[in-house]
Amino acid sequence: MGANRGEFQSRLGFVLAAAGSAVGLGNIWRFPFEVGNGGGAAFVVLYLFFCFLLCFPVMVTEIAIGRKTSKNPVGAFIGLGFKNWSIVGKMGLFCGVLILSYYNVVAGWAFGYFLEMVTGNFDIGKNFGAFVSDWQRVALYGVCFMAATAVIVSGGIKGGIERAARILMPTLITIIAFLVIYAMTLPNAMAGVEFYLVPDFSEITGSVIYAALGQAFFSLSLGMGALITYGSYVSKKENIISSAALITLTDVGIAFFAGLMMFPFVFSLGLEPSGGPGLIFVTLPQAFQTLGPTLGIIIGSLFFMLLSFAALTSTVSLLEVPVSYMVDEHNWPRRKAVWAIAGFIFVIGIPSLLANGASTFFSTFAGSDFMTFIGYIANDTLLPLGGCLITFFAAYVWKKHNLSEEIAEGNPNYKGSAVETFINIAISYICPALLAIITFFTILSRFFGINVL
């Protein structure tokens, strides 16, 4: 591993950074409303099952490919001797850039809401449409957020990403733990807990299974090379299996506690659990107002600080992927790569910034809006497609025995174990098949309006 690339200094640093990559708006914002739409606890059971059946093997594979080559997602396939497969890495690179271009906009909303909560502006929820269509204001928040992301990534692996993860992740966990404890004290909180934790399996339908599969894969930041990139900074001494297990458990745990925080709030305040994406930005600020001016400001500010921190841990990894590509493949200095790419991504995110009322053209783009359209391409289609191709590559092109050799580095008991058998079966059959199905159904639904489920 080249000294100029850097390396995580400890397993804790790697696990926190990789878990931070996975933990984001998908856990705090998207997961609760997916649970609400999916009928509650039955969705949670499916989500947890798919995280370990589907996502854990993909995560192990991505980390192993990265560590084997000490390269970015494009260079990794070339480094393994399969130049033609570098198109998968380029697709992941493209996907990550697209995601960050609009993710930064939503992260800017969260940061803006934090500032509004601090000043006691609970009416911001009633004025959500006016807020997101005020492009100058939202652009300023987006610039601040992208700048914060760039400052962290420009510090390198040890001094930037790992150091930030060691601060942000424990802070995020502390805030969410406090909010869970507080939510449990609210009137009718146990009704929310029952909805969330007591499954009614009659709620399970084909569409719920599909949504749980998609949410599991989306929430763990797989399929776009982020974990190939982070894996490239991991020492050969590290145990990939136990590290991946810790990353998965951390991500799933934070998503789980986000729901445990959200649904007591929802039921205590008489809100609709299937309120959808607007629940957090439209409904919750008004709900926080009912707690009284002082307590409402404290709880509201903490909640949107939590959302901002969760977003920041993800934007850091999203930016690191193209930065590592420019550093490895084109010999750009890290600082130049960071600021040039951050500026470029912000610029291509302007249509998404304008797609919420500021521009009629972008707000009605492709039958919905530009931001939603980009989400269909990147999150919903390219992520599962990338995961499908990566596992197929590992099983049938690079070959399973080579993957096993890499995983066995730092884990001498891996060869011949039940875990090796599970990983080999998963990447050979389960993961490619399920991810191909997700991709196929998504393309039919998102781009052709054919809803099979």
Asked if residue 151 is part of any domain, the answer here is: yes
Q: How far is CA 366 from CA 108, 162, 350, 363, in A?
A: 24, 40, 17, 9
Asked if residue 16 is part of any domain, the answer here is: yes
Does residue 104 have a pLDDT over 90?
Answer: yes
Looking at 223-318, which runs of residues are DSSP E strands? none
pLDDT at residue number 243: 95
**pLDDT band at residue 275 using 50, 70 and 90 as cut-offs:** low
Q: Which residue has the tokens 């997101």?
A: 132
Judge contact between 264 and 184, C-beta under 8 A: yes
pLDDT at residue number 276: 61
Does residue 3 have a pLDDT over 50?
Answer: no
Distance from C-alpha of 374 to C-alpha of 101, rounded to nearest angstrom: 9
Token readout for 250 is 């951390």
How do residues 260-272 score in pLDDT, each as one tens digit? 988 898 888 787 7
Lowest mean pLDDT among 265-269, 311-315, 420-424: 265-269
Asked if residue 128 is part of any domain, the answer here is: yes
**pLDDT band at residue 1 using 50, 70 and 90 as cut-offs:** very low
Lowest mean pLDDT among 24-38, 220-234, 336-350, 351-365: 24-38
pLDDT at residue number 277: 63
Does residue 382 have a pLDDT over 80?
Answer: yes
Lowest mean pLDDT among 32-36, 95-99, 386-390: 32-36
For the segment 176-186, the average pLDDT, to the nearest whole number, is 91
Short-list 345, 438, 424, CA closest to 385:
438
Distance from C-alpha of 390 to C-alpha of 49, rounded to nearest angstrom: 21
How do residues 328-375 score in pLDDT, each as one tens digit? 999 999 999 999 999 999 999 999 999 999 999 999 998 899 999 999
pLDDT at residue number 2: 44
Q: How far is CA 447 from the centre of its chain?
A: 23
Percent of the chain whose predicted confidence (pLDDT) is above 70:
98
Asked if residue 5 is part of any domain, the answer here is: no
Judge contact between 257 and 263, C-beta under 8 A: no
Judge contact between 14 and 158, C-beta under 8 A: no
How many structural domains compose the chain? 1
pLDDT at residue number 5: 74
Asked if residue 190 is part of any domain, the answer here is: yes
Asked if residue 221 is part of any domain, the answer here is: yes
* CATH code for position 82: 1.10.4160.10
Token readout for 240 is 């990939």
Asked if residue 6 is part of any domain, the answer here is: no
pLDDT at residue number 298: 94
**pLDDT band at residue 322 using 50, 70 and 90 as cut-offs:** very high
Whole-prediction pTM: 0.93
Q: Which domain holds residue 264?
A: 11-448
Mean pLDDT of the chain: 92
Asked if residue 453 is part of any domain, the answer here is: no
Judge contact between 72 and 325, C-beta under 8 A: yes
Tally of CB atoms within 10 A around 239:
18
How do residues 383-405 score in pLDDT, each as one tens digit? 999 999 999 999 999 999 999 99
Lowest mean pLDDT among 52-61, 283-292, 389-398, 438-447: 283-292
Element (H, E) at 441: helix 431-448
Q: How far is CA 144 from CA 119, 139, 140, 165, 309, in A?
A: 18, 9, 6, 19, 13
